[in-house]
């Protein structure tokens, strides 16, 4: 009997101890799980826009951005542009005899971007070049005759205006300087006369020059968003629906999209738009230097160790660079904090400036870095 009692007491004691340990262990696991859950929540929240750049909304497909907001915000502000021009020389006098002046009319099409509620439109110069009539069609199929306010052939930017009492949907300018390679973008336009076409891609490169030997202000945003004939003059927008570029060119053997296209940065476009409205033409400021962007082959020829930067070969007397003390052989490394690796880095930034503006220049002379401030001078046309 005593043996049986001892067994019962021992069994009860072991059971009580087991229950106590299980309870403690279970609470410990629960606490750790809650802490891990909290840590996961805090970690995921760190991806919410805290940097002040662009907030990205992701869809249910992991890694796929939700671009519907940008599309809705921009699609009604992009228009179809039809340019009718008159050809001075006809291929055949017989066509004019039978069909009259209609035989001399040529029609081209492209896109445009409304950038104000009262109907100012940005497009490409080549879209409206030599036009006798420009007709703009909005996304709701309303047609308007547009006037050409002004254009700049060098940068391929033109400004149109619709005269109407209506208030139009429009796109706000974004900051193209702060865009980043790999950032998602939308190309909105009218390829092949298909209204309201949206394609998506990323920024593939910045400050892209399509002809490094042509010393004009070319500095494009390169993207892999599909752009075809008719997209010229259309919008390149970021995920917030802000205008960061005007689609203007493709490079391919066939004339169709092959994986990359080019847009004029919005910072340049905005400056040209403001110049045309305020001055009637584009105000261009000169640094007053000529030279070449360095790379390995040029550096070897010049006996230089630097392979990046803009090598100054000629200083224009009396211009800002000359007055600021820059000399032949100096290498411009930065301008206003922007690293200069190629000519388009330099020309692209200067395209956003006007005569009289001051720029901060860091340059290398005899392998020592120096700083100076240069005042840009007006270009004499």
Enzyme catalytic residues = 126, 156, 232
Q: How far apart are CA 271 and CA 171, in angstroms?
A: 16
Strands (E), the chain: 78-86, 105-114, 120-123, 131-137, 143-152, 157-162, 184-189, 197-208, 220-223, 235-237, 243-250, 261-265, 285-286, 289-293, 310-315, 331-335, 338-339, 358-365, 368-375, 377-378
Q: How far apart are CA 55 and CA 57, in angstroms?
A: 7
Q: How far apart are CA 185 and CA 260, in angstroms?
A: 13
φ/ψ of 247, rounded to 5, equals -65, 130
DSSP character for 58? B
DSSP 349-380: HHTT--TT-EEEEEEEETTEEEEEEEE-EE--
Q: How far apart are CA 301 and CA 11, in angstroms?
A: 94
> 3-class SS at 203?
strand
Look at residues 310, 323, 311, 315 and name the one whose alpha carbon lies nearest to residue 349.
Answer: 310
CA distances from 366 to 71, 89, 303, 327 (A): 52, 59, 12, 11
Q: What is the dihedral of CA 307, 309, 312, 313, to 10 degrees?
A: 30
Classify strands 243-250 and 235-237 as parallel, antiparallel or unpaired. Answer: antiparallel
Q: Does residue 262 contact residue 221 with C-beta atoms inside 8 Å?
A: yes
């Amino acid at each position: 009997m005593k043996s049986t009692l001892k067994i019962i007491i021992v069994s009860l004691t072991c059971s009580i101890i087991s229950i106590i340990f299980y309870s403690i262990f279970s609470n410990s696991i629960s606490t750790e799980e809650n802490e891990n859950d909290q840590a996961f929540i805090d970690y995921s929240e760190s991806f919410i826009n805290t940097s002040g750049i662009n907030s990205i909304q992701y869809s249910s497909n992991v890694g796929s951005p939700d671009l519907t907001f940008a599309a809705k915000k921009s699609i009604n502000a992009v228009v179809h542009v039809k340019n009718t021009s008159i050809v001075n020389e006809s291929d055949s006098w017989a066509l004019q005899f039978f069909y009259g002046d209609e035989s001399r009319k040529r029609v081209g099409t492209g896109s445009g971007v409304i950038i104000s509620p009262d109907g100012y439109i940005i497009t490409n110069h080549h879209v409206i070049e030599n036009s006798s009539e420009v007709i703009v069609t909005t996304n709701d199929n309303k047609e308007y005759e547009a006037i050409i306010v002004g254009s700049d052939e060098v940068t391929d930017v033109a400004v149109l205006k619709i005269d109407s009492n209506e208030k139009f949907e429009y796109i706000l300018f974004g900051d193209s300087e702060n865009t980043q390679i790999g950032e998602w973008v939308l190309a909105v336009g009218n390829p092949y006369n298909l209204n309201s076409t949206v394609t998506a891609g990323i920024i593939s490169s910045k400050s892209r020059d399509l002809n490094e030997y042509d010393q004009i202000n070319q500095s494009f945003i390169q993207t892999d968003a599909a752009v075809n004939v008719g997209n010229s003059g259309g919008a390149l927008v970021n995920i917030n629906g802000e205008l960061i570029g005007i689609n203007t060119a493709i490079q391919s053997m066939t004339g169709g999209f092959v994986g990359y296209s080019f847009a004029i940065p919005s910072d340049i476009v905005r400056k040209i738009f403001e110049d045309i409205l305020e001055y009637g033409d584009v105000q261009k400021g000169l640094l007053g230097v000529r030279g070449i962007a360095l790379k390995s082959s040029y550096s070897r020829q010049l006996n230089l160790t630097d392979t990046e930067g803009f090598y100054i070969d000629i200083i224009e007397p009396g211009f800002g660079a000359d007055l600021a003390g820059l000399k032949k052989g100096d290498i411009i490394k930065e301008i206003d904090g922007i690293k200069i690796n190629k000519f388009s880095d330099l020309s692209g930034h200067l395209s956003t400036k006007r005569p009289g503006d001051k720029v901060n220049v860091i340059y290398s002379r005899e392998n020592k870095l120096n700083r100076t401030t240069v005042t840009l001078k007006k270009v004499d046309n």
